[in-house]
Structure 1
């Protein structure tokens, strides 16, 4: 089997408006007060073989259109045309050596890599999860991701989330230590103790601020605090972990080569929040998850306003890899539409894992065309 064609498109799907229940601003998006995010953007890959099998892949790592097109035409396309999709590891290793920016290269490559796994599963008549160890989870619990709302809006949003039977909520912090502490206490009061709460700081604090924050929320039984300080501060992470009973997670550190392994060696964290994009696809995620499992480090999967193709790939790795013991972050419920013929099913705060061969989804090419950015 050989790859005979590959296409790459930038697709944008509108998000549900804030007033209708959409996602409020996340820290770092520089949106005016009261404004929400308005669109989700992804790179979509369509890979075609000489046997007529089509594989689909997705990545959120869009540098800019001109740069992406140059990388696609000059590096990705020549590297993949004529290759056997079963040689996915060789193809991706070659591409990694060719693209200089590690995080961006992992993201761009992961879309191609996911498409190859989709092809392999379809050729074998097996869902991807069976090819990477077999399914150990039928449903994947969702951590419902919330941005920054007013207290009144937060109360209403939490009522909706409870009614829909979500049991884990993720929100943001990092603007101001005292305000963040107050907000965490307000969330816990509204949620009660039956719903888990995780808070992402996106590297916002220095060490002294992180200590103040952790002291202020230690009684709240938070699931974890994600990336409270900047990356590559391993000794500081060790110190934070020793000073608090609140579990410490990393996310951005996972995108820097060797940082996750350094954290494991130093016993500096409780949880790692990883992403198929930044890790580089299903093959590398499988390796890293198995290593973390052996090291006793649990994983949660990050979200990046993923459309259905990437979401399906995330569900397959969560279904098969033992280390994914924590609910996966998701903002998928905020999308107005998807490029699949049917959106992935949510039931009682869980995703149902697709069971058909490959990624187990059907892409609607008319919708792909509709939402493609010229």
Structure 2
């Protein structure tokens, strides 16, 4: 089956709940979309939300890549060779992982529809469902508790709390969460590179009784190698995020000694499903757990991340709440969310409906 046409556009999805992390505040979100239509009328869709503060890729870069002549040249080509197309474009556009991710997932979606399989079943499903964390931005204690109460009332079992601006306030917020909810909820934290090495040691000592599940990218990327000197149990709790871009950076996190125990894979950092699988293979060989994260993204790319996450036996955490606070989207469906648990729809491809 040949590719009939390729359409690319940008869209502001807006946010119903702006939030703050250690180094910026987000009030709205624009995504780029690519739609690949086959001659039989089936359409595969991909979405990109570039992380310019991590990868240096802007939305303008993303759109330029997706609208480039090499992409248009795929019109008339057979969808069955989609994996080869992804390989070509990963080599040509290696500096633009979000664009690659959108291209990758759109091709997977279109191809899997032609064979009548969901992407996760095409990749090899290993997980049926899993609880996702839901994110609380940097707020005062009152705001933190208010958001937490709303999420817990909504059935969520795991909170991820953004930290990194004020260590004393960070500790107070976490203590108050435990006082309010006890230990019936899981707590993960993300300082977004906001801590020094000394801060990290102090944080670990002061939160020992709070049963923090994991600490995501606590220190700056340039300093990440320092954590290789931490005790093994502390490293086991550290999830590399901004430090983890691709399989090459995954290897660097492991030598000469591993600096973390968890890889946080985001499709927008690694270039899509193929790139994510490469990182997952590195992790599996080294005994590293997988976490799957996101930005503020369309249901399209959140669903793609969920599919590849559920194809990996060492996926231990998902943090795929990026579409929950969007004011609008271009698709519906994709995944089921029930009492804080997520799982992909059992439909061919991504299982989304374009609205």
Normalized against structure 1, the TM-score is what?
Answer: 0.85
Matched, 1:287 2:278: yes
Aligned to 2:88: 94
Aligned to 2:142: 152
Q: 1:288 to 1:246 in 2, by over 3 A?
A: closer
Deviation at 1:307, TM superposition (A): 1.1
Q: 1:54 to 1:282 in 2, by over 3 A?
A: same
Residue pair 1:106, 1:277 contacting (<8 A) in 2 also: yes
Which residue among 65, 71, 89 is the counterpart of 1:71? 65
Aligned to 2:182: 192
Aligned to 1:19: none
Residue pair 1:293, 1:323 contacting (<8 A) in 2 also: yes
Deviation at 1:264, TM superposition (A): 3.0
Which residue among 243, 262, 268 is the counterpart of 1:277? 268
Deviations 1:282-320 (Å, cap 9, x if unpaired)?
122223223323322111111211211112112211222
Residue pair 1:79, 1:91 contacting (<8 A) in 2 also: no
Q: 1:8 to 1:81 in 2, by over 3 A?
A: same
Aligned to 2:54: none
Quick one: distance in 2 between partners of 1:28 and 1:223? Answer: 23
Question: What is the SS of the residue equivalent to 1:362?
Answer: strand
Q: 1:54 to 1:244 in 2, by over 3 A?
A: closer
Residue pair 2:290, 2:314 contacting (<8 A) in 1 also: yes
Quick one: distance in 1 between partners of 2:59 and 2:238? Answer: 36
Which residue among 40, 43, 47 is the counterpart of 1:51? 40
Deviation at 1:152, TM superposition (A): 2.0
Q: 1:264 to 1:72 in 2, by over 3 A?
A: same
Quick one: distance in 2 between partners of 1:322 and 1:186? Answer: 35
Residue pair 2:334, 2:345 contacting (<8 A) in 1 also: no
Q: 1:79 to 1:174 in 2, by over 3 A?
A: farther
Aligned to 1:370: none
Aligned to 2:313: 322
Aligned to 2:11: 11
Q: What is the correspondence of 1:13-52 to structure 2 with a 5 Å cutoff?
A: 13-16=13-16, 22-29=17-24, 31=25, 37-52=26-41
Q: 1:207 to 1:153 in 2, by over 3 A?
A: closer
Aligned to 1:214: 204
Quick one: distance in 1 between partners of 2:87 and 2:186? Answer: 39
Q: 1:79 to 1:231 in 2, by over 3 A?
A: farther
Quick one: distance in 2 between partners of 1:356 and 1:245? Answer: 39
Aligned to 2:219: 229
Quick one: distance in 1 between partners of 2:68 and 2:111? Answer: 25
How many pairs align?
A: 349
Which residue among 294, 298, 303 is the counterpart of 1:307? 298
Which residue among 183, 194, 213 is the counterpart of 1:204? 194
Q: 1:314 to 1:65 in 2, by over 3 A?
A: closer
Residue pair 2:192, 2:216 contacting (<8 A) in 1 also: yes
Deviation at 1:110, TM superposition (A): 0.8
Aligned to 1:112: 103
* Structure 1 unmatched ranges of 5 or more: 17-21, 32-36, 365-374
Q: 1:269 to 1:82 in 2, by over 3 A?
A: same
Aligned to 1:61: 50
Q: 1:271 to 1:67 in 2, by over 3 A?
A: closer
Quick one: distance in 1 between partners of 2:219 and 2:229? Answer: 12
Quick one: distance in 2 between partners of 1:211 and 1:177? Answer: 11
Quick one: distance in 2 between partners of 1:65 and 1:249? Answer: 27
Quick one: distance in 2 between partners of 1:344 and 1:338? Answer: 14
Quick one: distance in 2 between partners of 1:263 and 1:67? Answer: 28
Normalized against structure 2, the TM-score is what?
Answer: 0.89
